[in-house]
Amino acid sequence: MSTAVVTGAGGALGRAIARRLAADGHAVVAADIDTDAVEATRTAVTKAGGQALAWTLDLRDPDAIGDLFEMVGSAHHGTAILVNNAAVYPSRPFLDIPLAEYDTVYQVNQRGYWLCAQAAARQMAAAGGGSIVNIASIVVHGGWADLASYVSTKGAAVAMTRALARELGPLGIRVNAVSPGAFPTAAETIHSDPDGYTKFVLDHQALKRRGTPEELAAVVSFLTGPDSAFVTGQTIEVNGGWVMA
């Protein structure tokens, strides 16, 4: 059984991705800083008949990332699939963002993706291939006020996807990104007017309903499965037709 590592697996989208990859037949290592949330993901996966391990780590800590992949290498024969999904998204005007907050956002959303990809790719290279999916965001297209650090890291996720796809392709490793639009998850708590925000979302989407985490996870499933064997370096937009790229 191949192993899929999903970071941020305690969150709504990460949990759906973990559930879907387990249903696809992978042993899932569900990693998150939130022990209770990731344990709930493990329970959800196993209740549905899948295999999962809950792993608590802080992606700001490079040693903790090393420990995660060392465990996967020794106990799970290496990483076949990595989904870089964890993110933080503090909201604040650009002119007021303290350096420490910027550093935190970068440590989780960019350096964390980078270090996980590097550790996973080393195992994938030794195994002759693998698949990495980086979760980006619709905000890379038009920006978003009061989220400059977050938006910057999501742009970096798209650029990193292309760089790694180019370099790791000869090793049989595919690297793609999935760019969610607006999904109704905890991330929406940054918007002060939930009803107004929902109307705003539906006004912009071509499809006049909210997307579900399962619909996002289905695209991750495609990108980590055999049907996308010739797809690499791409960013797939999953946004109900809000931005068409």
| 6, 29 Cβ separation under 8 angstroms | yes
Euclidean distance between CA atoms 217 and 165, whole angstroms: 21
Task: Find the shortest distance in angstroms from Cβ 37 to ligand NAD.
Answer: 5
Q: Is 182 in the site for ligand NAD (CB under 6 A)?
A: yes
The nearer residue to ligand NAD, 138 or 156, going by C-beta atoms, is 138
Task: Count H helices and E strands in the chain, helices first.
Answer: 9, 7
Q: Which of 207, 234, 241 is nearest to 220 (CA)?
A: 234
Sheet of 130-135, strands arranged across: 51-56, 27-32, 3-7, 81-84, 130-135, 173-180, 235-238
Is 89 catalytic? The answer is no
Q: Is 101 in the site for ligand NAD (CB under 6 A)?
A: no
Euclidean distance between CA atoms 36 and 43, whole angstroms: 10
Q: Is 116 in the site for ligand NAD (CB under 6 A)?
A: no
> Which region among 45-53, 82-90, 116-124, 190-198 touches ligand NAD (by CB under 6 A)?
82-90
Spot the catalytic one: 89, 106, 113, 150. Answer: 150
Q: Is 185 in the site for ligand NAD (CB under 6 A)?
A: yes
Q: Is 13 in the site for ligand NAD (CB under 6 A)?
A: yes
User: Considering only residues 187-216, where is the footprint of ligand NAD by CB under 6 A?
Assistant: 187
Among residues 4, 28, 52, 86, the one that binds ligand NAD under rule CB under 6 A? 86
The 3-state DSSP class for residue 178 equals: strand
The residues binding ligand NAD (CB under 6 A) are: 8, 10-14, 32-34, 37, 57-60, 85-88, 108, 135, 137-138, 180, 182-183, 185-187
